[in-house]
Structures are given as C-alpha cells and as structure tokens.
Amino acid sequence: MLSRRETLLTALKAACGLSVSAASPLGTLLATPAAAQAALRPPSQWLFPFGAALRDGPLADEPDYRAAIVRHCRQVVGEGGLKWFDLRPSRDRFVFDQADMQLAFATENGMELRGHTLVWYGAMPDWTKTIASAAEAERELVRHIETVVGRYRGRIKSWDVINEPIPDDPSSRSDIRPSIWQQRLGESHIALALRTAARADPEAKLVINEFDIEFVGDRFRHKRDALLRLVRDLKLRNVPLHAVGLQGHLRGDLAIDMEGLSAFVSEMRSLGLEVLVTELDVVDDKLPGRPELRDMLVAARAYDFLRAIHAAARPAAVLTWGITDKYTWVPIWFKRSDGLANRPLPLDDGYRPKPLMRVLEHFGQGSR
C-alpha cells in the first residue's frame, strides 16, 4: 500500500510532470517529519538572510502577524510605503509615515528594511503625468531620490533603485519599459537614478529588480537577454550598481529554465554583481485545488528556482512577497476560478508553515 507521502508525490508528478521520487532531494525534504526540523539552524543562522514583504494593516493590528515576521525574518521590505504613490501625494509633499513605521518595526526587532522602490512605471501618483520636459523630469527624479535616500542614509542599506525596467515581451535587447522617465529622458534615466542614489548614500547597495526572467520560453529568454544587455552596459560605463534582484513571482503552470537561470546568475556574478531573490511567491491560480497537493506543487516550483540559482551562486538574500497566505497581492490579479483562496506563501492563513517553508529552510541550511 502506498504511504500518504508516496501518494502525494505521485499526484505531484502527474499534475506537473515534475520527476519527484520519494528518494529525490525534494521528495526527502518534503517528507521530513516536522519534529526533525528542530535540529535545523534557526532562520537567524540561515546561510542567506531570509525575509518577507510587510503589509501595514496587519503590521499595525495583528500580533500574530508581527510575531510571524519577527520569528522568521532578518530582512523586511514594504509592499508599499516607499513607492511614489505612497510618498508623493502631491509635487510638494513627501509623506514618510508608512516607511518610518516599517523602519521602526524593523529596527526594534533587529531586522534590516530594504527600500522598494525609486524608479518604477507603476504606483505613480497622477500629478507625475504633468511632467512635461526632460529638464523637469531630471529635476523631479533627482530631488525625489536625494530626499528619500538621503533621509534613510545609513539606515536603509539596500535599495531597489530600478524596478521592472524590461518590457513583458521586449522587441529587442535594448527595449526599455515605457514610463514617464523613459518617455522624457530615455534610457539615461536609469544611470541618472543610480548615480543620484550613490551620491545620496555611498554605502547603500543599489539594485535593479526584475520579474519573469526564470521560465522556459522565448519571451522569458528575451527578457533575460535584455536585462543582461542593460546591466552590462551600466557596468561598462562604471555606473554604480551592486546587485540584481530576481523578484521570483513564480507561476505554478510555468517550468523554470534551469540552465538559462543558472547561466544568467553566473553572468551577473562574473560582472561583479550580487544576486538577490526579492519577491518570491508562487502564483497558484492554474494549479489543482486540493490544498495539500497545491502546496507541494508550489514548493516544488520554488525548489527548482532556488536550485538553479544556487547552482551558480548563493543569493545575497531571499525575501518572499508576504509571509502568510492571509495577506498576498496574488488574488488582485490571479484569483482562482474555483473560488478557493490562493496559497502562494510560506505560511498558511493560520501562520502554519507549509512545504514552501521547508524548501526555504533546506536552502537556508546550505543544502542543495
């Protein structure tokens, strides 16, 4: 008779074509009884700092939420708070309340707050549409970065300076995603932002953060190629840039390009850049409904992703985009058609660890 674990692994194989035998590293780690986990290094001693994105509502109101973050995280990042939309309700005002609160929480609990984000096409307040010329764009961008990075100098040590610069389906290697900055200044806005951030805090780690570069398929290969072109060009011109952030919004229905992703990470390392995982989760709208199986599929996808990265280099940090399924951006765009709640994150909606947490622990121990 098949054990419960073998039944699940068989279902896993049937559902996603992944070859997960009970004897494989993934099969073994998913099957390790929870009790054995006590022997593992705690999150504070993982080989990379682990962290998660914070949401302000539960951070203010929910002790269980705060406890889960403190228990698991060495780094945090605001889901919002440092975006233009949150900081800049009007041209003349900067509102730092959300970010200050997040930083106070992080500092009180011995965690680092990452800064997200200075240049992004998304979450822009309407008034920025009135930026009419190159000179005005340069003035606004420089003022914003000087003010925000300057305020948190020495306290926010890692910034997603540039977020999502590559279009979904780039038409060439030099294609850059449209934004007010790209429209008014062209690609030079990227170097301008990085140089301004470096002046405002010379010690800060400056990051370009991107998604959809890890899957099998031409579109994703083109995105990798375009990001590589951009990063190489910046390094050639001595523009300050220290790391590339792989967001890692994985898709339950898309396989990881193991070789392509490893090669990309190696390429970044050979350019002298660190690689971070900044927004890991697994979009599960297309996965089977049964939670136990779905959680395994989510874990298996993240396992492949982290394995491909680790094959080239240990990431400088791994952050998930939220800690609990209770609070996730995923249903905003990827609600399930069967009405079941999404389960993209390491803890379930009752703050219980899921197989995805096992996978993170596994890599955090230094295992492959």
Does position 123 interact with ligand G3I (CB under 6 A)? The reply is yes
Distance CA 168, CA 39 (A): 43
- Residues present in the chain in total: 368
Distance CA 351, CA 325 (A): 8
Mark the segment that binds ligand G3I (CB under 6 A) among 31-39, 67-75, 78-86, 171-179.
78-86
Distance CA 301, CA 177 (A): 27
- CB neighbourhood size of 197 (10 A): 26
Q: Using an 8 Å Cβ cutoff, are 342 and 331 in contact?
A: yes
Name residue 243's beta-bridge partners: 207, 274
Binding mask of the shown chain, residues 238 to 267, with x at each position contacting ligand G3I by CB under 6 A: ---------x--------------------
Single residue of 210, 212, 257, 279 touching ligand G3I by CB under 6 A: 279
Single residue of 27, 52, 72, 79 touching ligand G3I by CB under 6 A: 79
Does position 43 interact with ligand G3I (CB under 6 A)? The reply is no
Query: Interaction with ligand G3I in 46-65: which residues (CB under 6 A)?
Result: 55
Does position 114 interact with ligand G3I (CB under 6 A)? The reply is no
Tokens of 240: 């300050």
Name residue 274's beta-bridge partners: 243
Nearer to ligand G3I, 83 or 189 (CB): 83
Does position 361 interact with ligand G3I (CB under 6 A)? The reply is no
Single residue of 16, 72, 82, 83 touching ligand G3I by CB under 6 A: 83
Mark the segment that binds ligand G3I (CB under 6 A) among 75-83, 96-104, 171-179, 231-239.
75-83
Query: Interaction with ligand G3I in 155-184: which residues (CB under 6 A)?
Result: 163
Question: How near is the Cβ of 55 to ligand G3I at its closest, in Å?
Answer: 6
Question: How near is the Cβ of 292 to ligand G3I at its closest, in Å?
Answer: 26
Single residue of 43, 80, 89, 353 touching ligand G3I by CB under 6 A: 80
Q: Which residue is nearest to ligand G3I (CB)?
A: 329
The set of catalytic residues is 164, 279
Nearer to ligand G3I, 247 or 342 (CB): 247
Mark the segment that binds ligand G3I (CB under 6 A) among 77-85, 99-107, 288-296, 357-365.
77-85
Nearer to ligand G3I, 193 or 293 (CB): 193
Binding mask of the shown chain, residues 189 to 208, with x at each position contacting ligand G3I by CB under 6 A: --------------------
Question: How near is the Cβ of 329 to ligand G3I at its closest, in Å?
Answer: 3
CA distances from 166 to 79, 105, 174, 213 (A): 21, 33, 9, 10
Nearer to ligand G3I, 117 or 262 (CB): 117
Type of residue numbered 188? S
Query: Interaction with ligand G3I in 317-356: which residues (CB under 6 A)?
Result: 329
Nearer to ligand G3I, 30 or 59 (CB): 59
Mark the segment that binds ligand G3I (CB under 6 A) among 69-77, 79-87, 197-205, 334-342.
79-87
Residues that bind ligand G3I (CB under 6 A): 55, 79-80, 83, 122-123, 163, 247, 279, 329
